[in-house]
Amino acid sequence: MKFDTVIIGGGLSGLTCGIRLLQQGQRCVIVSSGQSALHFSSGSFDLLNALPDGRIVTDPLASVKDLVRMSPGHPYAKLGECKFRELAGESESFLSGIGLSIQGGATENHYRITPMGTLKPTWLSAPDFAVCKSESKLPWKKVSIFNIAGFLDFYPQFIAGEFARMGTKSDIHLFSLPGLDHLRRNPSELRSTNIARILDQESNRDELTGILSKAAADSDAIIFPACIGLKNTNMLAESRKAINKPVYLIPTLPPSVTGIHTQRYMHDYFVRLGGVYMLGDTVKKADMENGRVTRIYSCNHGDIPFIAENTVLATGSYFSQGLIATGSRIYEPVFNLDVAYAPARQDWYSRNMFDSQNYLAFGVKTNESFNALHGGKVLENLYVSGAVLEGFNPVKEGSGAGVSILSALYIADKIISKEGERR
Ligand SMILES: Cc1cc2nc3c(=O)[nH]c(=O)nc-3n(C[C@H](O)[C@H](O)[C@H](O)COP(=O)(O)OP(=O)(O)OC[C@H]3O[C@@H](n4cnc5c(N)ncnc54)[C@H](O)[C@@H]3O)c2cc1C
C-alpha cells in the first residue's frame, strides 16, 4: 500500500497533520488503534497556561520567550518564538477554516468552567461553553443550572457553591424527558454520550425549550451540562433562540461529548478530503534502512506493508500507548525510538498527586525539526508530533492541545516543502 505519508495515530495531532497534508494535495493514510485523548478531554484546547516556574500565563504569545529560556528542550523552543507565534495564529485559522467553531485566541487566555465549577485558563473553547475573562468574577448576577435527573457526572451543587463565592447566585433544576427514561433504568447507561443521543433529537426540542424557559424565567443565563451536540450542534442554538436567553455548556466528567464531536468532525473532514483512515488497526513494527523508514507493518495487514515517503508518529502518550512504562524503563513500542526519561524510577513521579509529575515530560527524543532519533541517529523521514513528544508537561503548563496542533502543522509544512524541493 503506497502513500505519500503514513500517519500513525488519529487523535488531534494525527488528524491535524493529515488534513493539512491532504489540503496540499498529498495522499495520506492514518492508522489508528482506537479512541484518542479528545474522547476524555475538557473540550477546550490549552496552548500555554503556566510557565515551568509556576507563573500564570495570560498572554501565551508574549510569555513564550520566558518558556523558551526556561525549557530549551520544549517543543515550543524547538519551533522558536517566531514560529510559535505564527503557528498559534495559523492553528486558529486552520480550525475555523475546516469549520470547527471556536472562541478565544492566543493573545489572551480566557477562563473555562470545570465540572466542579472552578475556573481554569485555556486557549480555545467550543462556542457554546460558559467562559469568562476574569479569574474571579463571572459575567452573570444569577444563573439557572440544569441537570438531568439521575445523571451522576455533573455536579450542580458544587458549581453553585463556586459561583456563590464569585458573587453569582444560582438555582438548580433537575429535569427529565420521556426518551431518557430507558437510560435511567440502569445507572451506567445514563452517561453523557447516551444522553446526547436523546437530547440531539429534533423531536425533543420543543419539550426541552419549554422546560428551560419556564424554570429559568428570572435568570441572566442558563447553565447546562455538555451532554448535547454530539451530532446535532444546532439544537442548542435553536433552543437559545426560542428562549431568547443565553444557554451555556459546562463540561461533564468523561466521556466528553464536545471532544468526541471534535474527533468525529475532524475524522469526517479528513475522509471527505480523500484521506484513508484505518480505525482499529495498530502499527506494530517497521523496517529501517540507511536512516529512513522503508516499510510499516500493522496488525490487520500482516506482511503487507505500508510504504510512504514520510511517516508521522502521533501515537499519544501513556494514555494511548504511544509510550509504555514498565517497572524499569519507558519505551516507544513501534520503532523503539530514543525516549528521554529519568533513569531512576523514584524520579519519575511524586507521591503527592497534586505535585508536578516528572513522567509527564518524558517522551520521544527528536532533533529541532521533530525528526525521531533511533540509537542517537536521526531518521530523516520519520517525524514525531503531539503528546508522544519529549520535553513538555501538558498538565503543569496547560499546553497539551497546543503542542499537538502546532507540532502537527509544523511537520506537515516541513513535509510539503521537502517534497517541493525534491521535484
Ligand atoms: C485524559 C486526557 C485528557 C486531556 N484533556 C485535555 C484538554 O482538555 N485540553 C488540552 O489542551 N489537552 C488535554 N489533554 C492533553 C492531550 O494529550 C492533547 O490535548 C491531545 O489531544 C493529544 O493528541 P495526540 O493526537 O497527540 O494524542 P492522542 O489523542 O493520545 O492520540 C493518539 C492516537 O494514537 C493511537 N495509537 C497509539 N499507538 C498506536 C499504534 N501503534 N498504531 C496505531 N495507532 C496508535 C491511539 O489509539 C490514539 O487514537 C488531555 C490528555 C489526556 C490523556
Domains of the chain: 2-103+260-422 (3.50.50.60), 130-250 (3.40.50)
What percent of the chain shows pLDDT beyond 70? Answer: 100
Q: How do residues 277-292 score in pLDDT, each as one tens digit? A: 999 999 999 999 999 9
Does 185 have pLDDT greater than 80?
Answer: no
CA distances from 165 to 101, 111, 172, 371 (A): 31, 16, 16, 49
Does 29 have pLDDT greater than 90?
Answer: yes
The set of residues, in sequence order, having a beta carbon less than 8 Å from that of 343 and lying 6+ positions away, is none
Instruction: Give the residue from 369, 363, 365 showing the smallest Cα distance to 322.
Output: 363
CA distances from 376 to 338, 372, 379 (A): 7, 9, 10
Does 186 have pLDDT greater than 80?
Answer: no
Q: Which cell is 86 given?
A: 505564527
Mean pLDDT of 246-252: 96
Residue 28 is predicted with a pLDDT of 98
Q: Pick the residue whose CA is nearest to atom 33 on ligand 1.
A: 9
Residue 6 is predicted with a pLDDT of 98
How confident is residue 419, by pLDDT bands cut at 50, 70 and 90? confident
The dihedrals phi and psi of 307, each to the nearest 5 degrees, come to -120, 130
Ligand 1 lining (C-beta closer than 6 Å):
8-14, 31-34, 36-38, 40-42, 44-46, 282-283, 314-316, 319-322, 334, 386-387, 394, 400-401, 404
CA distance 382 to 380: 6
Q: Mutual orientation of helices 81-97 and 400-422 as an angle, nearest 10°?
A: 90
Instruction: Give the residue from 146, 158, 169, 173 showing the smallest Cα distance to 117.
Output: 158
Mean pLDDT of 13-38: 97
Give the length of the chain: 423
Instruction: Please name every residue paired with 112 in a beta bridge, in sequence order, or none if there are none.
Output: 120, 131
Residue 184 is predicted with a pLDDT of 78
Residue 156 is predicted with a pLDDT of 97
Alpha carbons within 13 A on the beta-carbon side of 209:
18
Q: Pick the residue whose CA is nearest to atom 30 on ligand 1.
A: 316
Q: How do residues 318-327 score in pLDDT, each as one tens digit? A: 999 999 999 9
Q: Which cell is 120 given?
A: 481554569
Cα–ligand 1 centroid distance for 316 (angstroms): 5
Does 369 have pLDDT greater than 90?
Answer: yes
Instruction: Give the residue from 340, 382, 270 showing the smallest Cα distance to 20.
Output: 270
- Whether 379 contacts 294, CB under 8 Å: no
Residue 205 is predicted with a pLDDT of 87
Cα–ligand 1 centroid distance for 203 (angstroms): 35
Residue 144 is predicted with a pLDDT of 96
CA distance 390 to 317: 10
How confident is residue 336, by pLDDT bands cut at 50, 70 and 90? very high
Residue 182 is predicted with a pLDDT of 81
Residue 129 is predicted with a pLDDT of 96
Q: For the CA atoms of the chain, what is the radius of gyration?
A: 22
Q: How do residues 258-317 score in pLDDT, each as one tens digit? A: 999 999 999 999 999 999 999 999 999 999 999 999 999 999 999 999 999 999 999 999
What percent of the chain shows pLDDT beyond 90? Answer: 88
Which atom number of ligand 1 is nearest to the Cα of residue 122?
A: 11
Residue 232 is predicted with a pLDDT of 86
Instruction: Read off the pTM.
Output: 0.97
Per DSSP, the three-state class of 367 is coil
Mean pLDDT of 34-41: 96
How crowded is residue 55: how many other Cβ atoms within 10 Å of its Cβ?
A: 11
